[in-house]
Amino acid sequence: MKFDFLRRIYLSDTDAAGVVYFAKGLEICHQAYEESLIWGGISLKQMIQEGKIALPIVHAEIDFLRPLFCGDRIQISLVASLINDSEFAIAYQISPVDHLEQILVKAQTRHICINPQIRQRIDLPAMILKWLRV
């Protein structure tokens, strides 16, 4: 699954040095992930309310190749891929909207599917497998 999300860097995304810091970088990537789920017809609100599955992040990494500043317009490109029956990964690249060939940030998250009631790993549901194939 491939998805592109446009966003602006806001003052609240930056630290005292005026640049996006690692936690905000991962938060920006997560926003793109959530938008991709919405685009794929998946309601996180409904998923949480039903309480049958959760998709926690079990691994995250981020590399800043160049700084992101307040006012920058960026594109977050993500590619999600199936790892096994209960796990998927998402690779992110952040680029300036006006220079998409320039990569500013690379990140990756790995998610597992669990039953939140018993905190045990379960197979990914059909809706997530469909989203991964889009």
Read off the pLDDT band of 28 (50, 70, 90): very high
Annotated catalytic residue 15: yes
Mean pLDDT, to the nearest integer, of 110-128? Answer: 97
Read off the pLDDT band of 43 (50, 70, 90): very high
pLDDT at residue 129, as a whole number: 97
Q: What domains can you pick out in the chain, each with its CATH number?
A: 2-133 (3.10.129.10)
Q: Alpha-carbon distance 97 to 95, whole Å?
A: 6
Outline where DSSP puts E strands in the chain. 2-8, 57-64, 73-84, 87-96, 105-112, 114-115, 120-121
Cα–Cα nearest to 88, from 79, 96, 97: 79
Q: Alpha-carbon distance 24 to 13, whole Å?
A: 6
Read off the pLDDT band of 70 (50, 70, 90): very high
Counting residues of the chain whose pLDDT is more than 90, the rounded percentage is 99
Name the active-site residue from 4, 13, 15, 85.
15
pLDDT at residue 25, as a whole number: 97
